[in-house]
């Protein structure tokens, strides 16, 4: 039975029969496309999942096929294709959707002008498309399923926001869910943490699962030779992640002393007589807040982080203030990018002791590298709570630019890093002659505020 015929009978079925037809549709072998391994498994799931793997294993085709099948099986289904940045959608996932899933003589039509906003199916189903930086109508109401392309680009809060759009209230399919695909990133990425905690089913896709690269007997195809030679020629971290599919940390890391076994640990706010907030401003890029405990010896511990895009200064200040409920205390100092006078003002207007401060990046990198070193007492002077996934991901992925040790590589996520730089520089860099604030912190900053 073709998809049009299926769509035409669906409205006449009882809910029970629809579930059964849906199950059959999701598991039937495709006429012209073969799915293997977890790519095939993904087509049968109706729960939160992410399909992880190196480049070109067929993850996106599998996820788009799932979405298309749901759209055809459930008249009126409201579905979304989402990526972190809107401008990345068209040339990647939407091209695959138009060319490989819908095809030329499709009964599905795009609406919304030069950049498609939604795709309309003959049975009334819609697939909305958008970036998290410009969600438009993509996420304006409940969805039956949301598919996120390249989930590793999202923050955990982005992902959690998406899951609130698929609680089942849209009601066109038996079970609503959020799913996605990704390439591996650092070993502390929130995707791994969420999967470990049990909230997310993490699936693994391999090159042998892509029938254009390997035939059914497992022999490499001519296309497979070309693709794997190209991926094999990658170097360093990209090769490990995109060729081998490994969730690994960066080579050429700026923080060579970083060791999760040493630096990631839980600690209670009660261990720290002083509490500081470090803040990096952002709107399209994330704004980052770090709550940092300072102990009697001037050791820093990042207790919690907040990492969000599309928040205005008053919302960032409200987030900074709200943590007093979690920690039962106000911070002694809030150190904000000196260039972000608006954010300093917004923090001050809610009663937070905010100051603008900024040092040279290279000085700050040196300070943080020094804080990470394990001292004679067997402890480093900077540690981080296991919940601070963005901080951990950033520090693991943070690399020097093109072979030099003069500046970090451009274009990498460094918002939590930047926030800690303002604070570390404020506390530890020499001020007013030789003295560093940390020489008399935390008593000094406690007295000051
Ligand atoms: N089951 C399949 N049937 C037919 N072609 C496939 C299948 N799986 C993958 N391909 C082809 O292989 C190529 C890569 O597939 P896809 O874009 O889904 O990979 P991916 O795993 O999402 O890669 P990346 O990690 O780079 O985003 C595409 O050209 C696609 O058409
Ligand atoms: Mg893909």
Task: Write out pLDDT tens, residues 140-164.
Answer: 889 999 999 999 888 787 899 899 9
Tokens representing 18? 């629809």
90: buried, middle or exposed (CB in 10 Å: 19+, 13-18, 0-12)? middle
Which residue owns the Cα nearest ligand 1 atom 4? Answer: 33
Average pLDDT of the chain is: 87
Residue 32: is its pLDDT beyond 50?
yes
pLDDT band at 28 (very low <50, low <70, confident <90, very high): very low
Mean local confidence (pLDDT), 105-118: 89
Ligand 1 probe mutation, 56, 94, 153, 226, most atoms within 8 A of CB:
56
| Residues 302 and 174 occupy one common structural domain | no
DSSP assignment letter at 101: I
Specify the ligand 1 atom closest to the Cα of 181: 22
In-domain check, residue 255: no
Supply φ then ψ for residue 74, to 5 degrees.
Answer: -125, 95
Q: Report the half-sphere exposure of 247 (CA within 13 A, side-chain side).
A: 16
Share of the chain above pLDDT 90, in %: 60
DSSP 205-246: --GGG-TTTB-TTSPBPHHHHHHHHHHHT--HHHIIIIIS--
- Quick check: is 28 in a domain? yes
Distance CA 339, CA 323 (A): 24
Residues 299 and 224 in one domain: no
Select from 66, 212, 239 the residue to mutate for testing ligand 1; criterion: most ligand atoms less than 8 Å from CB.
212
Nearest CA to ligand 1 atom 20: 56
Is the domain of 154 the same as that of 283? Answer: no
At 248 the pLDDT is 87
Q: Which is the closest atom of ligand 1 to the Cα of 65?
A: 1
CATH number, domain of 49, equals: 3.40.50.300
Same domain? For 97 and 218 the reply is: yes
Identify whether residues 275 and 145 lie together within a single domain.
Answer: no
**Rounded Cα distance, 150 and 173, in Å:** 24
Indicate whether 215 and 285 sit together in one domain.
no
Domain assignment present for 8: yes
Q: Does residue 248 lie in a domain region?
A: no
Ligand 1 atom nearest to 63, measured from its CA: 18
Q: pLDDT class for 9, splitting at 50, 70, 90?
A: low
Q: Once rounded to an integer, what is the mean pLDDT over residues 403-421?
A: 87
- 305 found inside a domain: yes
**Where does residue 177 rank: exposed (0-12), middle (13-18), buried (19+ CB within 10 A)?**
buried
Are 41 and 156 part of one and the same domain?
yes
Residue 21 lies in a domain: yes
Q: How confident is the model at residue 243 (pLDDT cuts 50, 70, 90)?
A: very high
Q: Residue range 214-229: average pLDDT? A: 96
Q: Which two tokens stand for residue 412?
A: 């990498």
Domain presence at residue 288: yes
Predicted confidence (pLDDT) at residue 434 exceeds the cutoff of 50? no
Rounded to the nearest whole angstrom, what is the distance from the C-alpha of residue 5 to the centroid of ligand 1?
28
Contacts of residue 100, Cβ cutoff 8 Å, sequence gap at least 6? 61, 64
Instruction: Give, as residue ranges, everything with CB less than 5 Å from ion ligand 2.
Output: 60
Q: Is the pLDDT of residue 13 over 80?
A: no
Determine the distance separating the centroid of ligand 1 and the alpha carbon of 383, expressed in angstroms.
41
CB 439: neighbour CB atoms within 10 A?
Answer: 13
Is the pLDDT score of 421 beyond 90?
Answer: yes
Say whether both 266 and 143 belong to one domain: no
φ, ψ of residue 19 to 5 degrees: the values are -60, -40
Look at residue 234 in the predicted model and tell me its pLDDT.
Answer: 82
433 secondary structure, DSSP code: T
Give the structural domain span for 102. 3-232
Statement to judge: residues 197 and 268 lie in one domain:
no
Both 282 and 367 in one domain: the answer is: yes
| Ligand 1 environment, Cβ below 6 A | 33-35, 53, 55-61, 96, 100, 181, 183, 210-212
Element (H, E) at 307: strand 300-308
pTM of the predicted model, to two decimals? 0.64
Domains contained in the chain, number: 2
Whole-number percent of the chain with pLDDT over 70: 89
Report the nearest-CA residue for atom 24 of ligand 1.
55
Contacts for 302 with CB less than 8 Å, ≥ 6 apart: 290, 291, 292, 382, 383, 384, 385, 388, 391, 420
Contacts of 36 (CB under 8 A, 6+ apart): 208, 209, 211
Which helix (H) or strand (E) covers residue 439, if one does? helix 437-440
pLDDT of residue 371: 95
State yes or no: pLDDT of 449 exceeds 50.
Answer: no
Same domain? 214 vs 355? no
In a domain, 417, yes or no: yes
Supply the angle between the helices 190-197 and 389-397 in degrees, to the nearest 10: 140
CATH number of the structural domain spanning residue 278? 3.30.420.280
CA of 96, closest atom in ligand 1: 17
Amino acid 436: pLDDT: 53
The number of helices, as runs of H, and strands, as runs of E, in the chain is 17, 14
Are 302 and 374 part of one and the same domain? yes
Confidence class for position 6, pLDDT limits 50, 70, 90: low
């Amino acid at each position: 039975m073709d998809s049009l015929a299926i769509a035409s009978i669906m409205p006449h079925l009882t809910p029970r029969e629809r579930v059964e037809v849906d199950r059959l549709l999701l598991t039937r072998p495709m006429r012209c496309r073969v799915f293997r391994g977890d790519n095939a498994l993904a087509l049968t799931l109706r729960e939160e999942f992410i399909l992880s793997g190196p480049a070109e294993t067929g993850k996106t085709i599998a996820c788009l096929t799932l979405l298309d099948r749901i759209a055809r099986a459930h008249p009126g289904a409201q579905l979304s294709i989402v990526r972190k940045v809107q401008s990345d959608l068209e040339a990647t996932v939407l091209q695959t959707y138009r060319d490989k899933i819908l095809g030329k003589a499709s009964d599905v039509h795009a609406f919304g002008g030069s950049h498609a906003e939604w795709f309309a199916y003959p049975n009334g189903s819609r697939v909305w498309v958008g970036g998290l930086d410009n969600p438009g109508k993509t996420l304006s109401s409940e969805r039956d399923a949301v598919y996120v392309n390249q989930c590793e680009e999202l923050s955990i809060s982005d992902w959690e926001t998406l899951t609130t759009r698929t609680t089942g209230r849209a009601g066109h399919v038996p079970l609503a869910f959020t799913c996605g695909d990704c390439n591996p990133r650092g070993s502390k990425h929130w995707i791994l943490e969420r999967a470990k905690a049990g909230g997310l089913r993490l699936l693994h896709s391999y090159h042998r699962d892509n029938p254009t690269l390997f035939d059914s007997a497992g022999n490499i195809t001519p296309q497979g030779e070309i693709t794997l030679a190209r991926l094999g020629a990658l170097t360093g971290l990209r090769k490990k992640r995109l060729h081998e599919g490994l969730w690994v940390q960066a080579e050429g890391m700026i923080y060579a002393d970083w060791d999760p076994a040493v630096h990631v640990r839980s600690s209670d706010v009660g261990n720290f007589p002083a509490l500081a907030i470090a803040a990096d401003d952002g709107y399209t890029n994330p704004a980052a807040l770090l709550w940092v405990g300072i102990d009697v010896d001037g050791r820093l511990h990042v207790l919690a982080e907040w990492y969000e895009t599309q928040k205005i200064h008053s919302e960032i200040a409200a987030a900074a203030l709200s943590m007093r409920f979690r920690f039962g205390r106000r911070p002694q100092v809030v150190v904000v990018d000196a260039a972000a006078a608006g954010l300093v003002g917004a923090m001050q207007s809610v009663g937070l002791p905010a100051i603008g401060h900024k040092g040279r990046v290279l000085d700050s990198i040196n300070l943080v590298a020094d804080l990470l070193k394990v001292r004679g007492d067997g402890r480093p002077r900077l540690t981080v709570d296991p919940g601070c996934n963005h901080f951990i991901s950033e520090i693991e992925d943070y690399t020097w630019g093109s072979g030099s040790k003069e500046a970090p590589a451009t274009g990498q996520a460094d918002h939590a890093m930047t926030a800690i730089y303002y604070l570390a520089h404020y506390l530890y860099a020499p001020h007013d002659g030789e003295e560093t604030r940390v020489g008399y912190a935390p008593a000094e900053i406690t007295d000051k505020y």
